[in-house]
Every structure is written in C-alpha cells, then in structure tokens.
Structure 1
Amino acid sequence: MESPAHTSLPARSRQVADALAAAGATGAVRELADSARTAAEAAQALGCEVGAIANSLVFIADDEPVLVLTSGRHRVDTAALAARLGHDVLRRATAQEVRDATGQAIGGVAPVGHPQPLRTVVDEALADYPRVWAAAGTPHTVFPTTAAELAAITGGTVLPVDS
C-alpha cells in the first residue's frame, strides 16, 4: 500500500519512487518548495555542498543514450569520457532526446524510472560524499542516496567523468 506522502507526489516522481523501491533503494522521494533544476539550486534547497548533487545528464554515443550521473562540482569532459567508454564522440543530448530516452524533462531526470534501462556512468567523485541527492523525475523532487547505491540501482559503471 502506498504511503500518503507517496500518493501526493507528481506522477513522474511516483514512477521514480516505485522504481527505487523495486531496486531496493533506501531513500524516499521528497518534494521541495524550491526548484532543484540545477545543482546550485538543489544544493541551496537541501543545505548541502553542490558536489553532493548527482546531476543526471544524457549524452549520445553512437546514436545510443548514455546517462551520466555526475557530481555537481564539475563538468563532464566529453572527450575524456568518450575515450573511457570506447567511443569517438560523446555529445550532449537534445531536450527531445532526453525526454525520449528517459520520459523526463531536463532539470528533473532521475537515475531510474525510464522507459528502458540506460547505459549509465556514475561519477567516482560522488563517493566523496556520504549522502548524495539525485533528481526524482521533476525539478522539485529529489531523493537521498549514495554513489554505491546509484551504481547498484542503475547497473552503472563508476568512472571519472572529468579530465
């Protein structure tokens, strides 16, 4: 049976909460009064370091989406990450490609709850934080987790994503 807090979430966030529960994740989705569309906004709303925010970014490699969960403290070096993944090019997905791959809009993309599982990279820098926060399907919903749990629930590969 769903908790009252779960049923009050937006539909996309309920899908994420269900996917988290099915994957055995321990953190509950929570709705924020302020936007968490960017890492800086999320960190301010949560009272944590920007590096503890797991940005969900979608890139395209050989016409396939790749979800990169990166620490909010730095940017993805696409050339370096492409080489680590064995691709020549890794380009940022368009807003439509993000929505097609995840069912979610930029600014609220969760690590889970997508129409199909995505190849996922988890930034090794997230392990520097005992708790990280990830989006939960909308720019106003997040959930607490760890780098290890993100890798486990997404089947992701832990790699450095910066240069």
Structure 2
Amino acid sequence: MEGEIRLFGKLLTTAQAAADALGVDLGRIAKSVLMFAGGEPVLVVAAGDRRVDRRKVRDRLNRGKVTLAGPEEVLAVTGFVAGGVAPVGALHPVTVLLDESLRRFPDIWAGGGVPEALLRIRVDDLPRATGGVFADVVQDPAPA
C-alpha cells in the first residue's frame, strides 16, 4: 500500500480545516468517528461532506443502540485523541465501516494520529488497511 503522512504547524481538528490546509474538496477529507453499537466499538470512516447516520449504522450492524463516543472513550479505544483519529492502527480491535461515498475519489486524506497530521491513502486500499467494509452509513446528501 502507498500512503503519505503530512505534518502541519497547526491543529487540523475538523474536516473543513484539513480541506482548507490542503486545498481539496471537503469530501476528500475522511473523518474517523468512533461510536458504540450495542456497547461494542465501531469506527465509521466517512467523507467530510457527509454526516454519519446512526440509524444506518444500527441497521447495518444489528447490535442495538448506537451512541457517539466521548473524547476519553476515543482515546481509550483508538489510542488517538479526538480530532486526530486515524482510520488505521487503533489500539483495540474495532469494527470499521467505510462510507460508500468515499469511492468518489481515488484517494482521501484522514487523521494522521495527531491533530497536526494527515494521512493520504488510496480508497481502494482502505478495506485492507482498516479491516473494514464499505457500507451506506451516511445521511443522503441534501438536494442541490
């Protein structure tokens, strides 16, 4: 697999900040969102211009209620601070769901493990790199 880590002199804790720093479309920034489905950790890797749909995550996994992890839980499960979560290398095993809309791009930029770093990875490499599967787990985009 090919990839690139780029360090910046500022915090890039939002997808918009990362897109602005790189000069790319917001959709090319992947946000890694930790949730719990029925108490089990799930990392949803979603395009920056989309919102995760908890109902779709719940229906896909059929594990029960889906809740968003707090900052302390993010650190404990992934080993990364919120705002710098990488889609790869979680401290503990997690189920990974990859937003289907990421396939619009040949590669994406995601958290690089710290809020000042971004990781570029080919979208086709995401399943192998993360152990995840592509799924429809985001809200439908608003009509233009």
Structure 1 position 145, deviation (Å)? 1.0
The TM-score normalised by the length of structure 2 is: 0.91
Structure 1 position 114, deviation (Å)? 2.0
Among residues 115, 131, 136, which one is paired with 2:112 in the alignment? Answer: 136
Matched residue, 1:88: 64
Cα deviations across residues 15-68 of structure 1 (Å, max 9, x unaligned)? xxxxxxxxxx31121102232210000000011000001101000012111001
Please give the alpha-carbon distance, in whole angstroms, between the structure 1 residues aligned to 2:60 and 2:90.
24
4+ residue runs over 4 A deviation: none
Verify the 8 A CA contact 2:12 2:115 in the aligned structure 1. Answer: yes
Matched residue, 1:108: 84
CA RMSD of aligned residues (A): 1.2
The TM-score normalised by the length of structure 1 is: 0.81
Please give the alpha-carbon distance, in whole angstroms, between the structure 2 residues aligned to 1:147 and 1:59.
22
Cα deviations across residues 63-104 of structure 1 (Å, max 9, x unaligned)? 111001000011101012211111331110111111110111
What does residue range 11-160 of structure 1 map to in structure 2 within 5 Å? 25-160=1-136
> Which 5+ residue runs of structure 1 have no aligned equivalent?
1-24
* Structure number, greater radius of gyration: 1
Please give the alpha-carbon distance, in whole angstroms, between the structure 1 residues aligned to 2:131 and 2:90.
13
**Structure number having the greater strand percentage:** 2
> Which 5+ residue runs of structure 2 have no aligned equivalent?
140-144
Please give the alpha-carbon distance, in whole angstroms, between the structure 1 residues aligned to 2:40 and 2:63.
11
Verify the 8 A CA contact 2:58 2:66 in the aligned structure 1. Answer: yes
